[in-house]
Structures are given as C-alpha cells and as structure tokens.
Amino acid sequence: MLEQERNVGTQEEFAAHIRNGLCQGFGKKWINPKFFYDRTGSCLFDQICLQPEYYPTRIEIEILKRYSKDIISNLKCTSASMIEFGSGSSLKTGIILEQFFSQGIRVMYFPIDISNAALVSSVRRLSSEFKNLDIMGVSSEYLKGIRKICSFIDASSRTPKKKVMIFLGSSIGNFEPDKTRMFLKSIEQYMQTDTDDNLFISFDLEKDSHILELAYNDRAGITSKFNLNLLNRINNDLGGTFNVSNFTHYARYNKTNRRIEMFIVSRYDQKIHIRDLGQTISLKKNERIHTENSYKYSRQEINHLAKDSGLVVAKEYLDAKGWFDLVSLSKR
Ligand SMILES: C[S@@+](CC[C@H](N)C(=O)[O-])C[C@H]1O[C@@H](n2cnc3c(N)ncnc32)[C@H](O)[C@@H]1O
C-alpha cells in the first residue's frame, strides 16, 4: 500500500526553491539537499553506500547486525508500528524486520520518504522478502508523513499502538542545529509514555577529518555524480541549460562548524537559462553552490540535544571504532 502526498517534490515546489536558492548573490547560492533524491539521485545514493570510502553504511550495518536482537527484545512488546524517516532503499531496515519476525513480534512498517521512486521499489522488495509484513509506504516530507501515520494508527483498531521510530543513515546530520532541535521536539509530541514509544537515531560521530573527507570524495566519483545530478534535475524538470561538465564537485570538512560541506563549483564565468523560471542565472568562475551540510556529533552533544527536546538517551549502540552512534531515545 502506498500513500502519496500531493505536493511531494512537485515541479512548483522545486521551481520555487531553485528560484530562491540560485538567484542569490555570489557565495550565497544554495540548493536544499532534499532535492538530491529524484529517481537517478536515489539510485546514485545506493551506489554511494557501496563505496569503500563511505563508512557510514558499512558501520551502521555492523551495529545493526550486532545489536538488533538486543534492541528488539528490549522493546518488550508483542506488536509494534515501526515508522522510518527517509527510508530510501530500506536495505538496513531488513535486519531489524528480521528480528521482529524471529522474536514473534507482529510489526506494521511505515516507511516515509520524499523519493517516490525509492519508496515504490523498497515496498515491492520488502513485500516479497517478508511475506507476512504489513507495510504502508508514505511518500512525503518527514513531518507530514509522521502526522499522517499517527492519525492512521490512532484511528485503526488493528494497527499496533506502540511506535518504534527509526532515523538511520545519520541523515539527521543534514539538518542545521536549530532544525535538529525543532525536528526532535516535533517527534517527541508523537511519542507516548503509556505505550513506551521509542525513537532510534543514528549519528555520525566526529573523527579524523581525512576519513570524513574521503567518504564524501570517493575514488569512483559517485558522490560527485550524485551532487552534480542536481543540475541534471534542474535541466530535466525545469528546462535548465546547465552543461554539467562545466561544474565540479567539492566536499571538505569545516572544523569550526564540525560539518562536511558539499558544493557544486562553476569552472567558468557562465550564464544559465532556466526556462520554467523565465530567468537567467550568472555564475562566476569558482563560484560555489552550497548543496549539503552533514554535521558530525560528539556523544555529549547528543545528550544535550535529547535533553533540550524532552527526550532521554536510554541506550547507545556504537561500532568497534566508536565512529557511529545508534541512539535509543525515550520520552522523559
Ligand atoms: C541519506 S539517504 C538515507 C537512506 C537510508 N535511510 C539509509 O540509511 O541508507 C536520505 C533519504 O531520506 C530521504 N529524504 C531526504 N530528505 C527528506 C525529507 N525532507 N523528507 C522525507 N524524506 C527525505 C531521501 O529521499 C533519501 O531516501
């Protein structure tokens, strides 16, 4: 079953964002990273996850394989609704779902993703892999999706009331710090103490900047393709005239702000016409378009973040190197 928000990723929303983001002055141009995920972008992200330099996926799988038995048995329930934010291909989720099944816990799975293409293919794959899985994909922004799912859970007598929410891939790092707090506070509103609802979020921890920079500059150039695909999306969806070979990918670690910053850089002075906006954008040689931040956290910061949002860190699951932290959060 698939629920689709009418407005997700519509041309109008994309056009309005590009008009605002690319019509800024020198050094201020930006594109929200949520627009990476058209069909091609979602496929490229799956390929990024396979690159040897991209440790987050490998390490998160290691954590889930090691601890998911413990995580699921600690839920102490006989049925649950599992809600996933930004589920993408849901590959890692399979590890958790397997545990629900092997521990005899009835689960209904609600993946939320802005990428309809990724959602459709993951719902199909999981439905054939787990024959008895109840699944309802919601093609939506995170917060619209959770609102819709919680109303559905409240209204349906057959749907498990206990909520287990998961946010993997360290995607929370793409929010600016103030937005992270707002997001957690919003999610906290949907957590109930009588059903002992849980929230699991993975955070990428601070580490050697060389390791971080390699992860966003893989040798096969997949992250570069992923980043530059935004220009293809503007060409395809809005009638842009970007020549992608006139741009380069640039990602570096900003030690002051403790985040990976990703940019598209113009190789020349150039003008781009975007038909659907009726606008021409000028870019100077070496001018950057900011496309993503990925914040890296300390465990102490995660604790503060939880506290500020009315949550407590119930347990942390780390990999052997201490690079990644899957945090179990409960309502205070
Ligand atoms: C970095 S990928 C992570 C995918 C998967 N969770 C994983 O760990 O491999 C981020 C996913 O979140 C989705 N996404 C990004 N921004 C979103 C938003 N604002 N609302 C809903 N989904 C979003 C993307 O389409 C993509 O599938």
pLDDT confidence tier of residue 3, bands split at 50, 70 and 90:
low
pTM (predicted TM-score): 0.96
Is the Cβ–Cβ distance between 113 and 139 less than 8 Å?
yes
Based on the domain organization, do 145 and 264 belong to the same domain? no
Ligand 1 center to 229 CA (angstroms): 16
Based on the domain organization, do 224 and 289 belong to the same domain? yes
Q: How many domains does the chain have?
A: 2
Nearest CA to ligand 1 atom 7: 169
Asked if the structure places residue 3 within a domain, the reply is no
* Mutation probe of ligand 1 site: the residue of 13, 34, 119, 202 with most atoms within 8 A of C-beta: 34
CA gap 279, 275 in Å, rounded? 7
pLDDT confidence tier of residue 7, bands split at 50, 70 and 90:
very low
Nearest CA to ligand 1 atom 8: 169
Q: pLDDT value at position 332?
A: 84
pLDDT of 251 higher than 90: yes
Asked if the structure places residue 63 within a domain, the reply is no
CA gap 190, 183 in Å, rounded? 11
**Domain containing 140: what range?**
78-207+297-331
Q: Residue 235's CB: how many other CB atoms inside 10 A? A: 17
Asked if the structure places residue 65 within a domain, the reply is no
Ligand 1 center to 86 CA (angstroms): 3
Average pLDDT over every residue of 210-217? 98
Nearest CA to ligand 1 atom 1: 171
Based on the domain organization, do 301 and 291 belong to the same domain? no
CA gap 155, 291 in Å, rounded? 39
Ligand 1 center to 42 CA (angstroms): 9
Q: pLDDT value at position 224?
A: 98
Is the Cβ–Cβ distance between 106 and 78 less than 8 Å?
yes
142 lines ligand 1 (CB under 6 A): yes
CA gap 113, 139 in Å, rounded? 5
Cα 329 to Cα 166, 168, 197, 198, 199, distances in angstroms = 10, 13, 9, 6, 5
pLDDT of 2 higher than 90: no
Phi, psi of 330 (to 5 degrees): -125, 165
Q: pLDDT value at position 52?
A: 98
